[in-house]
Amino acid sequence: MFRGKKAFTLTELLIALAIVGALAALAIPSLVEDINRKLLISQLKNTVVMVQDLIDRQLVDNKTQSLENTAFSNATTLMSSSNFAIADECTEAKKCWGNENKYKRLSDMDTKAGGGGTTKMLKNGITLGYSVDKWEATIDDGTKSGDQCYGLFWVDVNGKDKPNILGRDLFAFRVTKKGKILYGTACTGKSDDTAKLSDDTLIGYCKDNSYATACLAIIQRKNWKMTY
- As a whole number of Å, the end-to-end CA separation of the chain is 61
What residues have CB less than 8 Å from 176, skipping those under 6 apart?
67, 139, 147, 148, 149, 150, 182
pLDDT band at 6 (very low <50, low <70, confident <90, very high): low
**From CA 13, how far away is CA 65, in angstroms rounded?**
71
- Interval 61-82 mean pLDDT: 98
Cα-based angle 140, 60, 52 (whole degrees, multiple of 5): 60
- What mean pLDDT is predicted for residues 182-190? 88
**Whether residue 28 has pLDDT greater than 80:** no
Contact (CB, 8 A) for 132 and 75 = yes
Chain mean pLDDT for the chain: 91
Mean pLDDT across the stretch 129-148?
Answer: 94
Examine the pLDDT at 34 and tell me if it is beyond 90: no
Distance CA 75, CA 116 (A): 12
Distance CA 79, CA 203 (A): 30
Instruction: Give alpha helix (H) positions in 62-198.
Output: 75-78
- For the cut 90, the answer to whether the pLDDT of residue 53 exceeds it is yes
Question: What pLDDT sits at residue 192?
Answer: 81
Higher pLDDT, 9 or 188: 188
* Mean per-residue pLDDT, 121-145: 95
Q: What is the pLDDT of residue 186?
A: 84
210 conformational bin, left if phi > 0, alpha if psi -120 to 50, beta if neither = left
Q: Do the beta carbons of residue 155 and residue 189 sit within 8 Å?
A: no
Is residue 135 over pLDDT 80? yes
The type of residue at 60 is V
- Residue 227 burial (C-beta neighbours within 10 Å; 0-12, 13-18, 19+): exposed
